[in-house]
Structure 1
Amino acid sequence: MLRLRNHLFSGVRAAFPPHHHHPFSTTTPAPSPARFAAEEYLVATCGLTPAQAAKASKGLAHLKSPANPDAVLSFLAGAGLAKEDIAAGIARHPQLLCCKVDKTLTPRFAQILSIGLSPAQISRIISIVPNIFVAPSMISRLQFYLSLLGTFDLLHFALKRTPYLLGQKLEVVKPNMALLLQCGLTASDLALFSKVLTSKPERVKEMLACAEKLGVPRNTGTFKAALWSVHCVGHDSIGAKMDLLKATLGCSEAELALAVRRAPQILRMSEGHQY
């Protein structure tokens, strides 16, 4: 009898293994947790465009829920940052949504405030350099450039032209800065030449030498225009550009050289660069 009972129960166990839901059970299996839809969140909650969200969502693939992104957005909005600036910052650096509010955002925001920037100004900075929150060295560089340039508007202008300016070590920037100042440029001029500041010193010296070869002496009012033209065209392309202008304008080499000394900006004609 016992053998018969065991045989019957073994048949039942074989038909309905313990890890499978019994077909006659009234209990419902627990649903699997919903997956965090990063791309949808970036569009609906953060204000990114679908194209921006598709690119940014790759940096958020590890997130399981919107809890931390919600906390980050709440902090930034409560600190006075504009929604459009937050969206621009997230599009540039989506990992901003992964920062810890208490351990990272709060102390770093306070540190930036302490150098004299208002929440509205910080908002504009975050739209360009959002990773400043995760790189403390950038805050000290921000303070350096604010002191150097003298106004927030010039600082903002420099960062818009060169977003990676705060990522460059000052050991590289300061020698270039000294070279430019020795040539008669002012501290405020450096905002325009922010990309030059991040170049290798050898390249900056080549640019300065090329500007001098155009016949424009250093420490003159037109030297800045000559240097900017060399920067835009490329010091190794100036010769070809001079030949092109000579052919286009139908002038002699001497006439062109005189024109360039008087108005170096003609070298940028038809180059599509900003004047």
Structure 2
Amino acid sequence: MQRINSSPNSQNLAIKSLFSFFSSLSETQNSNAFLLNYLTETLNIPKSRALVISNSNRYSHIKSPEKPETVRQYFHNVGFSDTEIQLAVSVSPQILFSDVDKTLKPKIEFFQHLGLQGSDLGKIISKTPSLLTKILVNDTNNEDFIRVVSRWKWIPTDKSGLLRNIEYLRNCGIVGSQLSVLLVRQPRLFCYEESKLRHLVSRVLDMGFSINSRMFVYGLQAVSYLSEETFDRKLELFRSYGISKEEFIEMFRKAPGILASSEERLKLGLEFFLKDIEFKKSVLVHNPVCLTLSIENRVIPRYRVFQIVMPRGMLKKKLSFGSMLLLSEENFLKKFVLRFGDDAEELLLAYKGHGLGSSRKENLETTI
């Protein structure tokens, strides 16, 4: 007969398993069974989250699919995907029990008036569903306008300036998904004095951005964060590393996000690429997005791996360090660590900061 292991550890594990089982059973029994089933089967919300929602006393009265189905169908009709509905309800479940005509429709129509349609609208709402739960609609006026509490309380009661700015941005070619970028990332832009907004647009155009370029909206967002004095200081920083004003503007057009970094982080990146590993200036100017990456968490760890695979000829064809930096974490590990079998452990140790140390002064003999 096989002897049963009755050690203290195995007993503790058994007790924990039983406790977990009965806790789960209790949660399920206390939940609104109809709502739990609807959330998991119809909306595909993970059971752990669905249990939290269905256990809430706030929704204990829900016994019919009529209202949630009306909401779900409405979201489908305005272009939301199943995943976007799932995300929105997971974060703000009260949306599922809202009155479509009185609560949701006026708010959705406001965003549609801004030019957000279909998937663009779905992406915004799924990421910030509080826009549908914390916005108050003024019912005394038939025009499209809102009064916002919480994160959007900056929108003024007088909507005339807001609507003029929206129209001006539309005339600049900023519509649809581009408009949504500004709406989410720099909403105060919509409430600037019209003269200030026009000045910002003029600055972006003077730097060579094209209204027809998808980068125009990112350039506008970037300059709206910075005073002209701060912009000039960052320009001087790049100049101190031998990068001309023309090259700096070219880098900004390709990667407007570089201006979002602090001067300290920009200096750290310029120092590492141009001094420590002797990155060619022309390569950095052509790939400025490298300066937006974390030096400590991404650039240096991947450089350690690069120092191993390139000199040993482990790759079939020559590869630049810049292209290695731009890979996703998953693809980087697949292509430069896990695929090398016997060397994978050494590469992983180097990547995690062991084996090669943290010295940044070891220059490559390979051309970067």
Give a deviation string over 1:138-187, Cα, whole Å, max 9, x none: 7968956655553424345x27xxx8437546346966944545544445
Alpha-carbon distance between aligned partners in 2 of 1:58 and 1:193, rounded to the nearest angstrom? 45
Matched, 1:165 2:185: yes
Tell me the TM-score normalised to structure 1 length: 0.57
The answer to which structure, 1 or 2, has the higher relative contact order (CA under 8 A, 6+ apart) is 1
Matched residue, 1:97: 96
What percentage of residue pairs aligned between the two structures are identical?
16
Shift of 1:237: 1.7
Matched, 1:241 2:269: yes
Alpha-carbon distance between aligned partners in 2 of 1:152 and 1:192, rounded to the nearest angstrom? 14
Amino acid at match of 1:228: G
> Would you say the 8 A contact 1:211–1:223 is kept in 2?
no
Matched residue, 1:14: none
| Runs of 5+ unmatched residues, structure 2 | 1-29, 136-145, 156-161, 299-324, 328-368
Paired residue for 1:150, among 130, 155, 174?
174
Shift of 1:104: 1.4
Q: Secondary structure at the match of 1:192?
A: helix
Alpha-carbon distance between aligned partners in 1 of 2:290 and 2:186, rounded to the nearest angstrom? 32
Moved more, 169-178 or 86-95: 169-178
Matched residue, 2:60: 64
Paired residue for 2:253, among 211, 220, 224?
224
Note closer, same or farther for the CA distance 1:81–1:181 as it changes in structure 2 (3 Å cut). Answer: same
Amino acid at match of 1:224: R
Alpha-carbon distance between aligned partners in 1 of 2:60 and 2:54, rounded to the nearest angstrom? 13
Shift of 1:118: 4.7
Shift of 1:130: 3.3
Paired residue for 1:44, among 41, 44, 64?
41
Alpha-carbon distance between aligned partners in 2 of 1:198 and 1:58, rounded to the nearest angstrom? 44
Note closer, same or farther for the CA distance 1:122–1:98 as it changes in structure 2 (3 Å cut). Answer: same
Alpha-carbon distance between aligned partners in 1 of 2:55 and 2:189, rounded to the nearest angstrom? 26
Kindly tell me the number of residue pairs found equivalent between the two proteins: 230
The RMSD of aligned alpha carbons is: 4.6
Shift of 1:105: 1.6
> Would you say the 8 A contact 2:74–2:100 is kept in 1?
yes
Note closer, same or farther for the CA distance 1:59–1:89 as it changes in structure 2 (3 Å cut). Answer: farther
Alpha-carbon distance between aligned partners in 1 of 2:219 and 2:55, rounded to the nearest angstrom? 32
Higher Cα Rg, which structure: 1
Alpha-carbon distance between aligned partners in 2 of 1:35 and 1:54, rounded to the nearest angstrom? 7
Write out aligned runs for 1:1-275 (5 A).
36=32, 41-50=38-47, 53=50, 57=53, 62-66=58-62, 68-114=67-113, 118-119=117-118, 121-134=120-133, 135=135, 136=146, 148-155=172-179, 158=181, 164-165=184-185, 168=188, 170-171=190-191, 177-178=200-201, 180-181=204-205, 183-187=207-211, 188-193=214-219, 196=222, 199=225, 201-202=226-227, 205-207=229-231, 209-215=233-239, 216-217=244-245, 220-225=249-254, 227-231=256-260, 233-250=261-278, 264-265=288-289, 267-268=291-292, 271=295, 272=298
Amino acid at match of 2:266: I
> Would you say the 8 A contact 1:89–1:129 is kept in 2?
yes
> Would you say the 8 A contact 2:71–2:96 is kept in 1?
yes
Alpha-carbon distance between aligned partners in 1 of 2:293 and 2:114, rounded to the nearest angstrom? 41
Note closer, same or farther for the CA distance 1:205–1:120 as it changes in structure 2 (3 Å cut). Answer: same
| Runs of 5+ unmatched residues, structure 1 | 1-33
Shift of 1:210: 0.6
Note closer, same or farther for the CA distance 1:45–1:223 as it changes in structure 2 (3 Å cut). Answer: closer
Give a deviation string over 1:177-211, Cα, whole Å, max 9, x none: 44545544445424335764774x45x85255313
